[in-house]
Amino acid sequence: MFEPSVYKARRAALIQKLAAMGIHDGVALFPGNRESPMNYADNTYRFRQDSSFLYYFGLAEPGMAAAIDLASEKSVLFADDISLDDMVWTGPKASVREQADSAGIDAAEPLSTLSGFCAAKRMLYLPPYRMDIQAQLAELTGVALGAVPGGASMELIRAVIAMREIKEDREIERIERAVDCSIDMHLAVITTAKPGMSEAQLMALAYREALTGGGMPSFPPIATTRGSVLHNHGYGNTLTDGGLFLLDAGAETDDGYSGDLTSTFPIGRRYNDRQRAVYQIVLDAGRAASQAIAPGVPYRQAHFAAARVIAQGLKGLGLMKGDMEAAVADGAHALFFPHGVGHQMGLDVHDLEALGEIHVGYPEGEHKSAQFGLKSLRMAKPVRAGMVLTVEPGIYFIEGLIDIWKREGKFTQYINYAELESWRALGGFRNEEDWLVSQSGARRLGKPFDKSIAAMEGYRGA
Ligand code: GLY
Ligand code: MN
Ligand code: MN
């Protein structure tokens, strides 16, 4: 947690932003997250505070709510002190008043007074992503349960995105700490993996590094011998020599800042010739994308910079053919690179996505493309100094997709299906890094982490 003045200043800036949009009164309400039961009430998922609550109020206790009265500019924390019975189980906790002070919050009130506070006031809230919070908002606003998400305040969404997406220096320091820990997760896995081990063993190693760093993984890691399944969350396979391992994993700091990295390495000591060739294209695509990052430049351009390198590289291998500019414009490369080049990252690993992907990643009024591949581009809008973005191109041999496109005769002018047959079992490759937009370009976050072929084979003991 930062000092109280940080949260006070953020709330004051939010009030200003809303005033600039013509909103001078009402209540900006931030429900904190609650405990979430796994299979019975006392056996809960790990508690994770809502990220906007963390940003404006800093507190990571379950069952709180906070409000900013826009007319008086006063903030109120609604929460209950623990009972003596609770204390036996949880140990002593700071009082609600003390917690409010630690975040510079003007008043602390019991949770039972929240509905009275909100009554007959205009309520501004962010879209809920948990049903219990949606139900709480329905009760507080009197809006029907199903209508609650649609009643979220566009002005509040825009104001919160505008603030959270430009990282303060103190936040960059935390994110960089998360990235450093994420690098430790990757190096532990890359240097330990051996034929005969299970994916679960390597998953456990990644967890160990994240926990040792003081936090948790920032999302359920992907630790897989089947990298062509983009978000593979099974961990039951055994590593076999000659195959590839894909690790997509990041750490979260104890106060909620994320890292998000992907590595693809040989389960033996060296990549074979085809693996090496494809991996190098992915590295080159990442370099092209990161070099395209500069303030004012739409992130879509970084995506296309990566896509062009991938298409040209695959043409060089005989897997694509024809005019690669046209192939990329038509979306043919998406057979191999079906996702976007990256997303914003901060207090959420996909930062701010709960507020609406379109509002976070696209200029107001602009729609997402419906084209396969491009429709998965989360971030397309011009970037600004202080934004943190992932750069994560990949090449995948997705057998089911190849079969369908081949059967449909899709893009036969660009794709060499005959040549592709002998490559289809190669698997999936992704390289993911975290970048900060600077005044003139971008800087990779985190300590040195060489992903070159020589370095990766070096980690593997070659
Ligand atoms: N970890 C999921 C992603 O890279 O976006
Ligand atoms: Mn990732
Ligand atoms: Mn990512």
Do 104 and 178 have their domain in common?
A: no
DSSP strands (E only) in 107-260: 107-109, 123-124, 216-217, 222-224, 244-249, 251-252
Other CB atoms within a 10 A radius of the CB of residue 142 amount to 11
Q: Which atom of ligand 1 is nearest to the CA of 392?
A: 4
Residues in Cβ contact with 329 at an 8 Å cutoff, skipping those fewer than 6 apart: none
Which of 224, 345, 357, 392 maximizes ligand 1 atoms within 8 Å of its Cβ, making it the mutation to test the pocket? Answer: 392
- In which band, very low, low, confident or very high, does the pLDDT at 462 lie, cut at 50, 70 and 90? confident
Q: Which atom of ligand 1 is nearest to the CA of 250?
A: 1
How far, in Å, is the centroid of ligand 3 from the Cα of 369?
20
Q: Which atom of ligand 1 is nearest to the CA of 222?
A: 1
Which of 388, 390, 391, 434 maximizes ligand 1 atoms within 8 Å of its Cβ, making it the mutation to test the pocket? Answer: 390
pTM of the predicted model, to two decimals?
Answer: 0.97
Do 248 and 375 have their domain in common?
A: yes
Give the torsion sign (CA, 354, 359, 360, 361): positive
Q: Which amino acid is at 99?
A: Q
Contact of 302 with 290, CB cutoff 8 Å: yes
Is the pLDDT assigned to residue 329 strictly greater than 90? yes
- In which band, very low, low, confident or very high, does the pLDDT at 234 lie, cut at 50, 70 and 90? confident
Amino acid 461: pLDDT? 92
Do 59 and 93 have their domain in common?
A: yes
Q: What is the pLDDT of residues 181-209, one digit of tens each?
A: 999 999 999 999 999 999 999 999 999 99
Amino acid 388: pLDDT? 98
Amino acid 68: pLDDT? 98
Closest residue by CA, ligand 1 atom 3: 260
Last residue of one domain, picked from the residues 135, 164, 193: 164
Q: What is the pLDDT of residues 236-282, one digit of tens each?
A: 999 999 999 999 999 999 999 999 999 999 999 999 999 999 999 99
How far, in Å, is the centroid of ligand 3 from the Cα of 24?
37
Any idea which ligand is nearest the CA of 263? Answer: 2
Is the pLDDT assigned to residue 232 strictly greater than 90? no
Last residue of one domain, picked from the residues 144, 164, 184: 164
Give the Cα separation of 276 and 3 in Å (integer). 48
For residue 30, the domain's CATH number is 3.40.350.10
Any idea which ligand is nearest the CA of 391? Answer: 3
Percentage helix, strand, coil, to 5, in the chain?
40, 15, 40
Give the Cα separation of 65 and 44 in Å (integer). 20
Do 357 and 253 have their domain in common?
A: yes
For 336-364, give one letter per residue: b (16+ CB within 10 A) or e: bbbbbbbbbbbbbbbbbbbbbbebbbbee
Give the Cα separation of 187 and 251 in Å (integer). 13
| Domain total of the chain | 2
Q: Which domain holds residue 137?
A: 4-164
- In which band, very low, low, confident or very high, does the pLDDT at 233 lie, cut at 50, 70 and 90? confident
Give the Cα separation of 205 and 391 in Å (integer). 24
Q: What is the mean pLDDT of residues 174-183?
A: 98
- In which band, very low, low, confident or very high, does the pLDDT at 230 lie, cut at 50, 70 and 90? confident
- The helix/strand/coil state of 378 is coil
Q: Which atom of ligand 1 is nearest to the CA of 248?
A: 1
DSSP codes joined into one string, 54-66? HHHH----TT-EE
Do 192 and 306 have their domain in common?
A: yes
Q: Which atom of ligand 1 is nearest to the CA of 350?
A: 5
Give the Cα separation of 135 and 328 in Å (integer). 45
Do 26 and 125 have their domain in common?
A: yes
Any idea which ligand is nearest the CA of 389? Answer: 3
Q: What is the pLDDT of residues 79-134, one digit of tens each?
A: 999 999 999 988 999 999 999 999 999 999 999 999 999 998 999 999 999 999 99
Do 325 and 405 have their domain in common?
A: yes
Do 419 and 436 have their domain in common?
A: yes
How far, in Å, is the centroid of ligand 3 from the Cα of 311?
21
How far, in Å, is the centroid of ligand 2 from the Cα of 229?
13
How far, in Å, is the centroid of ligand 2 from the Cα of 248?
5
How far, in Å, is the centroid of ligand 3 from the Cα of 451?
17
Q: How far is CA 454 from the centre of its chain?
A: 29
Do 413 and 342 have their domain in common?
A: yes
Q: Which atom of ligand 1 is nearest to the CA of 342?
A: 5
Which of 179, 252, 282, 432 maximizes ligand 1 atoms within 8 Å of its Cβ, making it the mutation to test the pocket? Answer: 432
- In which band, very low, low, confident or very high, does the pLDDT at 452 lie, cut at 50, 70 and 90? very high
Which of 182, 185, 186, 219 maximizes ligand 1 atoms within 8 Å of its Cβ, making it the mutation to test the pocket? Answer: 219
How far, in Å, is the centroid of ligand 1 from the Cα of 19?
35
How far, in Å, is the centroid of ligand 1 from the Cα of 248?
7
Do 132 and 175 have their domain in common?
A: no
For residue 390, the domain's CATH number is 3.90.230.10
How far, in Å, is the centroid of ligand 3 from the Cα of 187?
18
Q: What is the pLDDT of residues 276-311, one digit of tens each?
A: 999 999 999 999 999 999 999 999 999 999 999 999
How far, in Å, is the centroid of ligand 2 from the Cα of 269?
24
Amino acid 302: pLDDT? 98
Do 128 and 238 have their domain in common?
A: no
Strands 244-249 and 251-252, by their bridges, are unpaired
Last residue of one domain, picked from the residues 146, 164, 182: 164
Any idea which ligand is nearest the CA of 261? Answer: 2
- Ligand 1 binding pocket, CB closer than 6 Å: 219, 248, 260, 343, 392, 432
Do 173 and 123 have their domain in common?
A: no
Which of 203, 233, 248 maximizes ligand 1 atoms within 8 Å of its Cβ, making it the mutation to test the pocket? Answer: 248
Q: What is the pLDDT of residues 387-439, one digit of tens each?
A: 999 999 999 999 999 999 999 999 999 999 999 999 999 999 999 999 999 99
- Paired tokens of 168: 């303060």
- Paired tokens of 344: 């914003």
How far, in Å, is the centroid of ligand 2 from the Cα of 83?
41
Q: Which atom of ligand 1 is nearest to the CA of 249?
A: 1
Question: Residue 434, exposed/middle/buried by CB under 10 A (0-12, 13-18, 19+)?
Answer: buried
Q: What is the pLDDT of residues 23-65, one digit of tens each?
A: 999 999 999 999 999 999 999 999 999 999 999 999 999 999 9
